[in-house]
Structure 1
């Protein structure tokens, strides 16, 4: 199965940076991209009460946006398709996840200097987190031209089971030169036993099966940075 990434697309620098980074990542993993453009994000459908004609009109006005994104997709290093929606709703996120089975949703980090854009991205992240979808946030200072080389896996004492989609990330962990770190955060005390159990939980999940043992690091929540 080909790995896919859904990246929130737009024409301003943060969104363009997220597309570039997702393209680099998908290229390294021999995957594909879905460029997703939305105008809003909400837990509730604003067109639910008889406004479908307005929604269709709004979608029609996005024809040019979709066409430009499609032209940009042709210049990427990986195969890419375009999806346009008026609103990211929980049901829309679920439908996209079922149809594309993405290993990750990718979006740019909210920029506090652009409140409207930041509010949209924050709302998108909240919907994705609530739905437990895998999420990659691209910071404004990402290293252009480089896929992740240091991957931190946050874990606690509890064992866990991976969803099938997580298997698509194993090639990323296995890229040459990748450093894997398991981090356990304790509250106010040094919890070495908890650190050891966190590493055991990660290893038992099969996420790092066949890979060198990850480095283990413990942090207290007051000094987690």
Structure 2
């Protein structure tokens, strides 16, 4: 089955960067892009009150989308959704079965995490689907060649939507490093155990390059991941998000949310099965 990437766009800078990244990712994969613009006409959409959304009517949106699609170097289609972003994305996912949802992350570094409400965080809580979040000013590596996968050392299995990511990993043939963050004094043993758990999921089954391991000592797992995931060392960081980590009341304090909000490297979130 051909790979496809669902790319959210609102024509702002961060969305354009995400589209550039998705295009560079799709080219070697032979993947198709599905561009989705959501007309934010829900009365409960908080961003309608901030002035952050472009004021475009539907004919203008259609014209802009058609112009983008016509100039992309990969096969692409465009759609316009309505209402809440989470509902429009869920509808597009049901119809297109994309390998990934791709979107840009706005710059919220000057805003306390507890006050941040971004599309990425909302989708993580509701979509339960593989999601690639591109931070501000990120650049694709044509395609990513150095992937950092953070594993917490606990057993996990991938949900059905995430199984297609195995094909993506195999197609990229990137250098994979499995990261384990711990306070333990025996880091080599922890990293080896984390690698074995990742291998049991089948994510690494078709990789040709040797898999590396990396252990970081940190009291906060998110801090350890962010310290390791530097743009000069890695092109992409992969997180395994468990349902309990993004469905609880303290969601903004979860490891997944912290890394999504602060990583300078694109983040691919894979939901684990319940």
Q: Does TM, scored on the shorter chain, surpass 0.5? A: yes
> For residues 1-225 of structure 1, what are the structure 2 equivalents within 5 Å?
1-40=1-40, 46=43, 61-112=57-108, 122-131=117-126, 132-144=128-140, 146-175=142-171, 178-186=174-182, 188-192=183-187, 193-211=189-207, 212-222=209-219, 224=224, 225=227
Shift of 1:144: 4.7
Larger mean CA deviation between 5-14 and 200-209 belongs to: 5-14
Alpha-carbon separation, structure 2, partners of 1:62 and 1:111: 27
Please state whether the residue corresponding to 1:174 is helix, strand or coil.
helix
- From the CA coordinates, give the structure whose radius of gyration is larger: 1
Instruction: Return structure 1 stretches of 4+ with deviation > 6 angstroms.
Output: none
Aligned length: 205
Compared with structure 1, are the counterparts of its residues 176 and 206 closer, same or farther at alpha carbon in structure 2 (3 Å cutoff)?
closer
CA contact (8 A) 1:39 1:85 kept: yes
Aligned twin of 1:54: none
Compared with structure 1, are the counterparts of its residues 16 and 63 closer, same or farther at alpha carbon in structure 2 (3 Å cutoff)?
same
Shift of 1:160: 2.0
Alpha-carbon separation, structure 1, partners of 2:136 and 2:167: 25
Task: Please give the per-residue CA displacement for 1:117-164, whole angstroms capped at 9, x wherever unaligned.
Answer: xx99x4311221113221111133333562111111111222222233
Which stretches in structure 1 are left out of the alignment for 5+ residues?
A: 48-59
Alpha-carbon separation, structure 1, partners of 2:109 and 2:190: 39
Please state whether the residue corresponding to 2:72 is helix, strand or coil.
coil
TM-score (norm 1): 0.78
Compared with structure 1, are the counterparts of its residues 166 and 16 closer, same or farther at alpha carbon in structure 2 (3 Å cutoff)?
same
Aligned twin of 1:50: none
Alpha-carbon separation, structure 2, partners of 1:33 and 1:137: 16
CA contact (8 A) 1:4 1:31 kept: yes
Larger mean CA deviation between 192-201 and 30-39 belongs to: 192-201
CA contact (8 A) 2:38 2:85 kept: no
Shift of 1:218: 1.3
CA contact (8 A) 1:156 1:195 kept: no
CA contact (8 A) 1:156 1:194 kept: no
TM-score (norm 2): 0.65
What's the Cα RMSD here? 2.9
Alpha-carbon separation, structure 1, partners of 2:109 and 2:210: 41
Alpha-carbon separation, structure 2, partners of 1:81 and 1:17: 18
